[in-house]
Amino acid sequence: MPSLSLKNSPEQSASDLGHRVRRARLAHDLTLETASRLCGVSRSALSKIENGLMSPTFDVLQKIVRGLQIDLAELFGTAPALNASGRRALTRRNEGQRHAYRGYQMELLATELAHKAMLPFRIRISAHTLDAFDDWGRHEGEEFLYVISGSVCLYSELYAPTHLNAGDSIYFDSRTGHAAISTSEEDAEVLWMATGGGVPASSAAPDAVGAG
């Protein structure tokens, strides 16, 4: 199975992400308390993220970009271009932006584009039991998961566990609690796409959008 070789350690990635969250918060002249209320993330969790002591889930990342009115790509060190007709993004093998959280090693794709309708990820699922997660993942939008290699079990609040093999895919409502684990001996690799429900709309005021 092709591997996702991380260029930075999880600790370094969390530290870099934390600095960018803090910079975005300070750019809006927000205290931790105010940003916590706007994002719907506890003050202690936000502080840990800013100090590189916590690697946030995708759900929390969506809350942060909504609350701080920025684009997800800005949290990963890219300077996304504004909307334009005919735009495109090319991501070469292993050159996406990295983010690790518990059982997922995530590579964010097409991060140079702001306000995308879809958020594409290439993910290596290293979790082999639900013990790797504290809670269900849930957020606004819809998701599509396609298994590239290995096998996966998608757990859901509303449905029986769904087993997927290489070549299988599933589309589901992101608001339904969910978690995916690898059921093969090796880590599974998947293409995972989420609609950009948590990304500020392209009609947002330029000063609110920032670099995006």
| CATH number of the domain bearing residue 62 | 1.10.260.40
Whole domain around residue 23: which residue ranges? 10-81
DSSP letter (8 states) at residue 16:
H
Residue 124 lies in a domain: yes
Same domain, 71 and 136: no
Higher pLDDT, residue 113 or 206:
113
How many domains, in total, are found in the chain? 2
Q: What is the mean pLDDT of the chain?
A: 81
Helix, strand, coil percent values for the chain (each to nearest 5)? 25, 25, 45
Tens of pLDDT, residue by residue over 136-191, are 888 888 999 999 999 999 999 999 999 999 999 999 999 899 999 999 999 999 99
- Same domain? For 126 and 62 the reply is no
Mean pLDDT of 96-115: 84
Contact 96, 123 (CB under 8 A): no
Task: State phi, psi for 65 to the nearest 5 degrees.
Answer: -65, -35
CATH code assigned at 137: 2.60.120.10
Q: What are the C-alpha distances in Å from 9 to residues 13, 15, 128, 161?
A: 6, 10, 21, 32
7 phi/psi in degrees, rounded to 5: -70, -35
Confidence at residue 78, expressed as pLDDT on a 0 to 100 scale: 61
What is the reported pLDDT for 153? 98
Q: Is residue 202 part of a domain?
A: no
Structural domain includes residue 42: yes
Is residue 5 assigned to a domain?
no
Q: Is residue 111 part of a domain?
A: no
Closest to 24 (Cα-Cα) out of 11, 12, 39: 39
- Residue 26 falls inside a structural domain: yes
Rg (CA), the chain: 17
